Structure 1
Amino acid sequence: MIPFLENKQLALIIPVYNEGKALVANFTEIKKILDEDHIKCQFHFIDDGSKDNTWEVIESLSNKHSNVSGIKFARNFGKEIALRAGIESIDADLYLTMDSDLQHPPRYIKTMLELMETQQADIIDGVKATRGKESFKHRFFAKSFYKILKSVTGLEMDNSSDFKLMNRQVIDNLREFHERNLFFRGIVSWVGFNVVTFEFDVDERKEGASHFSFGKLVFLAMSAILSYTSKPLYLTIFSGILFLIFALIMGVQTLFNFFFGHAISGFSTVILLILITGSMIMLSLGIIGVYISRIYEEIKRRPRYVIEKKL
């Protein structure tokens, strides 16, 4: 065993969704590498309301291995909530969050633990050196999202991932976040502490298929921006000032033409102004409406997730 882990309990938080066909093979691969590196840990699976036999597979693994535990959601709540539930439902000294599909390579876990010890770090933040075989659309959107997020929130999260190693102090602070809509990578970056980045190469999936669609990526991006900044609301003020100036200019021009007897055709201009101002009003109302919906969801104080079963 790594000396750093001698008196510490390491928990691997692994969210899964419809991974029944691939889970045994992927778990076996992770466990094999950890055993080779003499790393003892508790595997903690969070079944995010899977529709297949994922929970039965987790139960089978738990019966065979004493260091496998898990919880099952009553329905699908999303990966971000699953990660939050994972860190809340098990006690340990160190927490490692990772995907079950081996795209977060388990061979790097030993290096991350050693880095935490040598650098006296509170968080080892896994950053993608390469993004694997992603589509151009997915890669372009991800790059654009991180640039926008940095410009509006100040969070530096380019090529970030959920492959993170954190100590108990960080986890205790993360548990204090009670918001219903959260962006897990965002809150880990937001809390601060001594963070050391660790670059890794993303491996290809050996089994199964990704359940993270482009639509879900767009929704996650919107959720992250709404959760960490109110700057989009200022867009309504900016657009209002811009159109006030424009209206004053047009008003002066109209009065000038009226008093000097110039004929005004102006029909196209009026239609164009109506379309532009109407679209800006609707955009502003939409932005305000999204924030109000977030407020409404938060004040209802519903539980973030519902657990159906536990191991």
Structure 2
Amino acid sequence: MNKPVLTIVVPCFNEEEVLAETSAQLSSVLLELMEELLISLDSKILFVDDGSRDRTWELIEVENERNPNIRGLKLARNVGHQNALLAGLETAAKHSDCVISIDADLQDDITVIHQFIEKFWEGQDIVYGVRDSRETDTYFKRTTALGFYRMMERIGIKLVPNHADFRLMSKRALDELLKYKETNLFLRGLVPLVGFKSTKVYYDRKERFAGESKYPLKKMLAFAFDGMTSFSVAPIRFVTFIGFLAVLISAIAAGYAITQELLGHTESGWTSLIISIWFVGGLQMLGIGIIGEYIGKIYHEVKRRPRYAVEKDLYTNILEVKQQSEAVIN
């Protein structure tokens, strides 16, 4: 078996504080893998700039000029982490035998990349990086994360618990993933749908090297809700169940009121009436909101707009020039 060409895809958004250190550490791992003859000398690291407003792209260009293993992809605007990651995966899929995706903040343990490659040599098409524990998280984040995975499992969405986007995919697995053309991306849910042989590698997550998290609570909640509504109609069914329950309670209350009227025990019920109106009105608004969320997703899907636009490509262009040069020499 020939040594596989590996591309490490790193989506970046305002990561000027960590980019140089990330580049240095990943380059060191890449060189070690080359020296151990586990990957091809043509293997690269691809940084994807997701419309950063700081000096991220300038630093990527500097690293590209200084290090032959560094490549860059600059998107024309900010399209979000999942679309930026997909842009890198699509670009790398054309010239790679396997691809590893990892965030730029160095929280994921890059030393387990060796284990990823070893599993790939053993015939695994997908290798998931899974957190061994969440002890470094706050109690709130740990509890909500575990609750999210349990809820997703209960409504029939197969996820890998405690796995983010730190994974290896073989070329054939990546090619299958790229056949999914939906606009509402939730890669953590899509990758398990691909199938093929897969395994897990466990590691301890570190503290962020520098800078601030790009996923505050608001974004985390939106991301979780997107994942839920992209893969299941359970929320709509839940609203239907609540609506049925409200009708049932209303029927029981109506029967009780009629009974009291017949027995001559009627009393003024202004408070209970107002509470009932607010309760039913709240259920209606909740139902309309959830249904509207699904309609909004349909609206985005049917437009079929491009998920991203590439402004500068320091990966494909350089490889094409190299291939043309080699063809002329041969």
Unaligned runs of 5+ in 1: none
Residue in structure 1 matched with residue 19 of structure 2 by the alignment: 23
Q: Report matched runs for 1:4-83 at 5 Å.
A: 6-37=2-33, 38=35, 39=39, 40=41, 41-83=43-85
1:89 alignment partner, SS class: helix
Kindly provide the CA deviation profile for residues 142-163 of structure 1, in whole angstroms up to 9, marking residues without a partner as x.
2221111111134142111211
2:94 aligned with 1:98: no
Q: How many angstroms apart in 2 are the aligned matches of 1:263 and 1:36?
A: 84
Residue in structure 1 matched with residue 230 of structure 2 by the alignment: 227
Contact persistence 1:132–1:202 (CA under 8 A):
no
Residues 247, 72 of structure 1: alpha-carbon distance in 2 compared, 3 angstrom cutoff: same
Q: Which amino acid aligns with 1:61?
A: E
Residue in structure 2 matched with residue 269 of structure 1 by the alignment: 272
User: What displacement does 1:203 show?
Assistant: 2.3
User: What displacement does 1:43 show?
Assistant: 0.8
Q: How many angstroms apart in 2 are the aligned matches of 1:132 and 1:180?
A: 34
1:76 alignment partner, SS class: coil
Contact persistence 1:132–1:204 (CA under 8 A):
no
Q: How many angstroms apart in 1 are the aligned matches of 2:205 and 2:186?
A: 21
Q: Which amino acid aligns with 1:48?
A: D
Q: Report matched runs for 1:26-175 at 5 Å.
A: 26-37=22-33, 38=35, 39=39, 40=41, 41-90=43-92, 91=94, 92-118=96-122, 120-131=123-134, 133-175=136-178
User: What displacement does 1:132 show?
Assistant: 6.4
Stretches of 4+ aligned residues off by more than 6 angstroms:
none
Residue in structure 1 matched with residue 292 of structure 2 by the alignment: 289
1:69 alignment partner, SS class: strand
Contact persistence 2:112–2:201 (CA under 8 A):
no
User: What displacement does 1:267 show?
Assistant: 2.1
Q: Which amino acid aligns with 1:104?
A: D
Unaligned runs of 5+ in 2: 315-330
CA RMSD of aligned residues (A): 1.7
Residues 260, 210 of structure 1: alpha-carbon distance in 2 compared, 3 angstrom cutoff: closer
Contact persistence 1:235–1:284 (CA under 8 A):
no
2:266 alignment partner, SS class: coil
Q: How many angstroms apart in 2 are the aligned matches of 1:130 and 1:261?
A: 63
Contact persistence 2:159–2:189 (CA under 8 A):
no
User: What displacement does 1:109 show?
Assistant: 1.0
Q: How many angstroms apart in 1 are the aligned matches of 2:75 and 2:210?
A: 23
2:248 aligned with 1:245: yes
2:222 aligned with 1:211: no
Contact persistence 1:97–1:165 (CA under 8 A):
yes
Residue in structure 1 matched with residue 182 of structure 2 by the alignment: 179
Q: Which amino acid aligns with 1:30?
A: L
Q: How many angstroms apart in 2 are the aligned matches of 1:198 and 1:182?
A: 24
User: What displacement does 1:234 show?
Assistant: 0.6
Q: How many angstroms apart in 2 are the aligned matches of 1:95 and 1:155?
A: 22
2:202 aligned with 1:199: yes
User: What displacement does 1:255 show?
Assistant: 2.4
User: What displacement does 1:211 show?
Assistant: 2.1
